[in-house]
């Protein structure tokens, strides 16, 4: 009697085949939510610029709390499970934003949005970087950044077009995209190795995580620059759309195009950082990137044409891409717990976005767009000085 052989197990998918599309789709969803909610609050709930600044930052502070508090409660789950839980909840929250009758309720739902998002990005990023160091880690980070930045490029323009049709459409499309991500990751999860299998594969290939912490102290200046960059991103993303419509007379579609060009500049930065390892474990590229952003915002205080505003905002976003890449690389390099490091990286994004949008909203309401740009230049200048001082304090004697 011939023994019955079990059917062959399907080959595993490369992890990037799941993570890169998931990063792209979530970035697209975030753009629909973050840009769409600004005009939704303005047009449906008649929110003032200061209120919009606080609203735009609400998700960021709860995202920070989620990275530090909520995510550890789910660390026993596989990353793919955390992603599915997160995206299903985000779909429900985005639907709730459209039906809640008050501005206060919109604040609550936006806060929940950030809290549940904390189960998404750190897990995805820690999962991707497992067992990689040096130039290989730099390449993985670059591909991941390119994936979500393509979503950032397309998202604002799509959002502007949807806003032109109906102010509720960006939130509705964001809800639908979240559900698609959940279904995609749940289905593809059957073709991915478990965390234990991944760890065994990396160990067999000589890519096991370090047994002792080999982290670089450059992560601290990198994190400071990353925070400052996202302070300016929060100020621009949360307030510029209102200022551009009210002060510059831009349509929603044109604002979406400006943000598309900003996103393209971000992508160029990620592409360059992934292809050139010269910046690894060096301080001066951080300082150069910050200085470029300071110059861009200083010039924006005097810019009068939309072309100049678009190009200078793009230059500032190019520099933000440098800071983002520096933070991921120097935070993950040599670390024994990369998901935790990515949670710190993401928490700094949340804090920066929250403070930037809240303070930026108050400054804009009291002054103008020029005052907002001057605030960004000043914050970056302080951070650059802080990076140099931190490096000097931490450098071995």
Confidence of residue 61 (pLDDT cuts 50, 70, 90): confident
State if pTM tops 0.85.
no
Burial of 4 (0-12, 13-18, 19+ CB in 10 A): exposed
- pLDDT at 305 > cutoff 50: yes
Q: Give mean pLDDT, residues 190-204.
A: 57
User: pLDDT of 129-171, one tens digit each?
Assistant: 666 666 777 787 788 888 998 898 888 888 989 998 999 999 9
So what's the pLDDT on residue 8? 47
Q: Token digits for 112?
A: 């929940």
User: pLDDT of 235-273, one tens digit each?
Assistant: 998 899 989 988 899 988 899 899 889 989 988 998 899
So what's the pLDDT on residue 2? 46
Distances 388 to 168, 243, 270, 284, 381 between C-alpha atoms, Å? 46, 34, 23, 9, 11
User: pLDDT of 14-36, one tens digit each?
Assistant: 778 888 999 999 999 998 998 89
Distances 154 to 24, 234, 257 between C-alpha atoms, Å? 10, 19, 9
Burial of 3 (0-12, 13-18, 19+ CB in 10 A): exposed
So what's the pLDDT on residue 256? 85
Name the more confident of 123 and 372: 372
So what's the pLDDT on residue 313? 97
């Amino acid at each position: 009697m011939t023994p019955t052989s079990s059917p062959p197990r399907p080959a595993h998918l490369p992890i990037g085949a799941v993570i890169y599309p998931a990063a792209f789709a979530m970035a697209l969803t975030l753009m629909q939510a973050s840009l769409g909610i600004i005009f939704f609050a303005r047009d449906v709930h008649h929110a003032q610029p200061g209120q919009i600044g606080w609203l735009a930052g609400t998700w960021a502070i709860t995202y920070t709390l989620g990275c530090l508090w909520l995510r550890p409660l789910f660390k026993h789950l596989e990353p793919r499970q955390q992603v599915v839980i997160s995206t299903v909840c985000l779909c429900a929250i985005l639907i709730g934003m459209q039906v809640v009758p008050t501005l206060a309720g919109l604040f609550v739902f936006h806060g929940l949005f950030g809290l549940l998002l904390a189960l998404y990005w750190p897990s995805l990023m820690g999962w991707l970087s497992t067992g990689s160091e040096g130039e290989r880690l730099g390449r993985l980070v670059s591909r991941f950044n390119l994936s979500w930045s393509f979503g950032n490029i397309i998202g604002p323009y799509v959002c502007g077009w949807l806003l032109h049709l109906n102010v509720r459409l960006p939130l509705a499309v964001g809800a639908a995209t979240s559900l698609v991500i959940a279904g995609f990751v749940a289905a593809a999860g059957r073709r991915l190795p478990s965390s234990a299998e991944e760890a065994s594969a990396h160990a067999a290939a000589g890519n096991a995580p370090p047994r002792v912490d080999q982290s670089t102290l450059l992560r601290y200046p990198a994190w400071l620059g990353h925070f400052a960059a996202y302070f300016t991103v929060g100020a621009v993303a949360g307030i510029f759309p209102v200022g551009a419509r009210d002060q510059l007379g831009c349509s929603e579609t044109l604002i979406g195009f400006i943000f598309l060009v900003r996103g393209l500049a971000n992508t160029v930065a990620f592409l360059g950082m992934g292809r050139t390892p010269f910046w690894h474990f060096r301080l001066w590229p951080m300082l150069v990137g910050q200085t470029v952003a300071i110059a861009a915002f200083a010039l924006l205080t005097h810019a009068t044409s939309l072309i100049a505003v678009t190009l200078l905002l793009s230059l500032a976003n190019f520099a933000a891409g440098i800071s983002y890449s520096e933070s991921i690389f120097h935070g993950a390099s040599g670390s024994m717990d990369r998901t935790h490091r990515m949670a710190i990286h993401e928490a700094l994004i949340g804090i920066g976005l929250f403070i930037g949008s809240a303070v930026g909203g108050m400054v804009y309401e009291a002054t103008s767009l020029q005052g907002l740009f001057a605030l960004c230049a000043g914050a970056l200048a302080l951070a650059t000085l802080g990076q140099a001082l931190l490096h000097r304090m931490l450098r071995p004697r």
